[in-house]
Structure 1
Amino acid sequence: MKKIAVHLAEGFEEIEAISIIDVLRRANFDVEVISITKSIEVKGAHNIIVKADLLFEEANYQSIDIIVLPGGMPGSENLKAHSGLREQILNFNDSKKPLAAICAAPMVFGGLGLLQNKNATCYPGFEEELHGAIITGNNVEQADNIITGKGAGVAIEFALKIVEFLTNKETANELAQKMIVDVQ
């Protein structure tokens, strides 16, 4: 079973985090919600507190198959500032392991130089943070091992792209159909 690490930072976008976690668990993935703060309880951008499964220091990145970053502000800035997370992202990219970020969070990948000459998307206004990327403006983009999404309104579509990437299009479409989601 694939293990997915969804990372929460103070100020994360709640719709994105919860939608992604929910869809990936419906797809029967082992989803670990990881707090990059000093607390297991993390406050989102709209003051909703979500309880993570474990702290960053407790995570075993050797057993994780994909790193996922919900967006939101200042959550995305907090993700970008976490040196341990940046190190893990670089390790994953070097190994061509999948990475996914939505909304403002693709700025983390952009700041690390991972989007150079790759199609990517983000929340409008954060394009300059995706250094070297080919900004498409599409809801969701996949370029090699990196998936990016535009924002809260496409969080389910973004999560389904992760499902497709880790399994296949048929599995993602079946899940979308069960959830009454119309995704092309």
Structure 2
Amino acid sequence: MKKAIVLFKEGFEEVEALTVVDVFRRANMPCLMIGMDSNEVTSSHQITVKMDAQFSEDCYEADLVVLPGGLPGATNLREDQRVIDILKKFNDEGKWIGAICAGPISLQKAGIIQDKKFTCAPGFEDQLPDGCHQDTLVEIDGQIVTGRGPAASLEFAYTLLEKLGGDSMPLREGMQYNFLTKQK
């Protein structure tokens, strides 16, 4: 079975990080919350979350790595060499990479966004000059999936689940997401 990991540093955005974990777990697909520095990590809104594990070499065995946004969480992730290293390795191996809101700034530092389409929170596109910014909710280019921000969290999580072979349709229905998209 495929496995996802979500990387956490101090100052992460709760909705973006925990929605991915929630959706994957509802779909019975393994998704671990990985603390980069601690077993408990505090969000940008002062909510402390207990991690499943701390970062280790085992993280490289996952099929998907996810970077939430939030400030200073996204910049904290970008400044951690272990994050850059895992992004490069996953990219080289054709594994899935997800980044949402300000999270994609790590993709630039890792050198893996060159000529790829991406989306991010408004204003952060200037920090990704090598990529091709798109004004979309969720963007997929190759094995990289990016999301715009907190409001994109469910669609981002469903998309990542599908990319790992999961079925998001029962969740979209059960979580009332389909109702939301009918209201447009």
Which range, TM-score by smaller chain? over 0.9
In structure 2, C-alpha distance between the alignment counterparts of 1:70 and 1:108, rounded to whole Å: 10
- How far did 1:110 drift? 1.7
Q: Which residue of 165, 177, 182 corresponds with 1:181?
A: 177
- How far did 1:167 drift? 1.3
Q: Which runs of 5+ in 2 are unaligned?
A: none
- How far did 1:64 drift? 0.7
- Structural mapping, 1:103-182, within 5 Å: 103-167=101-165, 171-182=167-178
Give 4+ residue runs of structure 1 displaced > 2 Å after superposition.
none
Question: Aligned partner of 1:83: which letter?
Answer: Q
Aligned length: 180
Q: Contact (CA 8 Å) 2:84, 2:109: kept in 1 or not?
A: no
Q: Does 1:36 align with 2:36?
A: yes
- How far did 1:143 drift? 0.3
Q: Which residue of 72, 81, 90 corresponds with 2:70?
A: 72
Q: Contact (CA 8 Å) 1:11, 1:72: kept in 2 or not?
A: yes
Q: Contact (CA 8 Å) 1:111, 1:129: kept in 2 or not?
A: no
- How far did 1:84 drift? 1.2
In structure 2, C-alpha distance between the alignment counterparts of 1:112 and 1:2, rounded to whole Å: 24
Q: Which residue of 89, 92, 108 corresponds with 2:90?
A: 92
Q: Contact (CA 8 Å) 1:118, 1:134: kept in 2 or not?
A: yes
- How far did 1:173 drift? 2.2
| Structure-2 residue corresponding to 1:52 | 51
TM-score of the aligned structures, taking structure 1 as reference length = 0.93
Describe the SS at the equivalent of 2:177: coil
Aligned-pair Cα RMSD in Å: 1.4
TM-score of the aligned structures, taking structure 2 as reference length = 0.93
1:106-144 Cα distance to aligned partner (Å, 9 max, x none): 010022221111110000010011232111110000100
- How far did 1:153 drift? 0.8
Describe the SS at the equivalent of 1:167: coil
In structure 1, C-alpha distance between the alignment counterparts of 2:161 and 2:54, rounded to whole Å: 24
Describe the SS at the equivalent of 1:60: helix
Question: Aligned partner of 1:174: which letter?
Answer: P
Q: Does 1:10 align with 2:10?
A: yes
| Structure-1 residue corresponding to 2:24 | 24
Describe the SS at the equivalent of 1:50: strand
More displaced, 18-27 or 142-151?
18-27
